[in-house]
Structure 1
Amino acid sequence: MRILLSLITAFFLAAPSSVAAQARTSLTGLGGANEALAWQAVGRLDADQTGFCTATLIAPELVLTAAHCVYSSKTNQLLKAEDLTFRAGLRKGKSAAERKVAQIEAHPGYDPKQGVSAKNVRYDVALLRLAEPIPTHVLDPFIVHNAELSKGPVSVVSYGRGRAELPSRQSVCRMYEEYRGVIFMDCDVTFGSSGAPVFSHKNGRGQIVSVISSIGVSQGKRVTYGMVLPPLVADLKRQMRANATQPVAAARRIRIGNGQSNRVNSGGAKFVRPGGS
């Protein structure tokens, strides 16, 4: 199969309210509190003065999104972690939980300078470590589907133009092809939907089978593109561990007798408690 990628939708864009834009999508807004409750681990990823994408909590401290969401569209440079905020379950201005980002890891296979290509779609995934975990009693993270993919119905929960303050869900769309790590779907997405989770519902609660990368044209048809996730997420977790900031051990003085500080001649060695505290 020959993949033709023709960009229709900009990836990372602030989404002002627009009734006309909302009318062009078949997504259903999760306006009711009970209806939205099951999807609160999906949130809006905001970049200061840049725009937003959709992202999903997959562990108390880990958020999954698209790689192009963490690069500046103007400079192609990685955004600063401190400029990103994850707003889980954002709905009408209120979040179920809100956290700043402490670490960004985009897949090394993604090249922000390359633009839209089959290779970039294949690796368009990033993992974010939150500055503070969101406890599981507050939000239940979604898990990444780790079994063989099969064609069939999926669903998408996302934010977007005209619905920046309200998540929307397309309960049924179709994943109809996978080619060299790129997944072809007919899901209805729009500006801001980049990074949105694509769910399979074969085993009870939804599991993430892909992430929305872009919209394009393949063989004359409008197509939504995603990627095969499990190996990429595994790569990113290893990358995150390798690049994590190591704690600095703090030397402590030994206090003797009346508690006054006494220097101990130890041949240059420093005494630290286990754990570096």
Structure 2
Amino acid sequence: MKAPGAALLLALLAPPALAQSRAELPGLGAVDRRVPVAVAEEPWRSLAKVQSSTGPHCTGALIAPRLVVTAAHCLYSKHTQRMVPAQALHVLFGYQGGTFRTHVTVERYALDDADDRARTGAVGTDWALLTLSAEPPVPVLPLAVQLPPPGLPVALAGFNQDKAQRLMADTACRVTGRAAVGGAPLVLHDCSGTRGTSGGPLLTRRDGRWEVLGIAVAVGAEANVAVPAATFARHLP
């Protein structure tokens, strides 16, 4: 499979039109398998809507008691052309229809090398670790740091642009392969997900528990793209 390039990330970063049909949204494919999931149930209650007043809304997952992972490009404001300050970020667990169970602010965040990579199209380093101001009352999702094999059943959930008020998930998708950009590994998958799903965890179930294989960062014509968990796991405190 042809390796994805920077244009895949730019598809997510492009400003949405005022009105877009489902066919115009990238990453959904010919068959849209997304269904609403219960935000009070596992593993979905460990997912959060990440938003600010100036940046785009995205999805995140709790991977340590006070640590949420999301996509780095979600922290870039096109309005100010800067990364959003940590204090301007809001992490909402149990979000549904404009209400939420838990609201937590962010003390600080870490990027791959503390620069504005969101503007470079470096999909392989498109991750951010948000340190929360308090520990939310939801379970932590463990990381699976081994690169997954093609064919592995996975699930992807997020707050999609066209369904921003509901957590939607594709629970019937698979890993389709691997790629690399600039030496950074990527996981390719066929899960349905579009703008707003960025930062959403690519999940698999092993030995009865859910694990995070990576996070969604980009979409392409042949496959959708995730940064594997091993890439950001080594940066955990």
Regarding TM over 0.5, the answer is yes
Pair 71,50 (structure 1): closer, same or farther in 2 beyond 3 Å: closer
Matched residue, 1:61: 66
Q: What letter is aligned with 1:40?
A: R
Post-superposition offset of 1:232: 2.1
Matched residue, 1:265: none
State TM-score, norm by structure 1: 0.71
- Distance in 1 of aligned mates of 2:162 and 2:77: 23
Q: Does 1:127 align with 2:129?
A: yes
- Distance in 1 of aligned mates of 2:218 and 2:86: 23
Q: What letter is aligned with 2:168?
A: S
What pairs up with 1:55-134 in 2 under 5 angstroms? 55-74=60-79, 76-108=81-113, 111-115=117-121, 120-134=122-136
SS at match of 1:206: strand
Post-superposition offset of 1:128: 0.2
Q: Does 1:200 align with 2:204?
A: yes
SS at match of 1:82: helix
- Distance in 2 of aligned mates of 1:199 and 1:59: 16
Post-superposition offset of 1:49: 3.4
Pair 72,184 (structure 1): closer, same or farther in 2 beyond 3 Å: same
The number of residues matched between the two structures is 222
Which stretches in structure 2 are left out of the alignment for 5+ residues?
A: none
CA-based RMSD of the aligned residues comes to: 2.7
What pairs up with 1:80-229 in 2 under 5 angstroms? 80-108=85-113, 111-115=117-121, 120-134=122-136, 138-151=137-150, 152-180=152-180, 181-217=185-221, 221=222, 223-229=223-229
What pairs up with 1:17-28 in 2 under 5 angstroms? 20-21=21-22, 25-28=32-35
Matched residue, 2:3: 3
SS at match of 2:87: helix
Pair 57,17 (structure 1): closer, same or farther in 2 beyond 3 Å: farther
Matched residue, 1:29: 36
Q: Deviations over 1:23-42 (max 9, x none)?
A: 96420012x56xx4221110
- Distance in 2 of aligned mates of 1:44 and 1:126: 14
Q: Structure 1 or 2: larger strand share?
A: 2
State TM-score, norm by structure 2: 0.83
SS at match of 2:48: strand
Q: What letter is aligned with 2:165?
A: E
SS at match of 1:213: strand
Post-superposition offset of 1:13: 6.5
Which stretches in structure 1 are left out of the alignment for 5+ residues?
A: 239-277
The 8 Å contact of residues 14 and 51 in structure 1, kept in 2 or not, is answered as no
Pair 161,21 (structure 1): closer, same or farther in 2 beyond 3 Å: farther
Report the identity percentage: 22
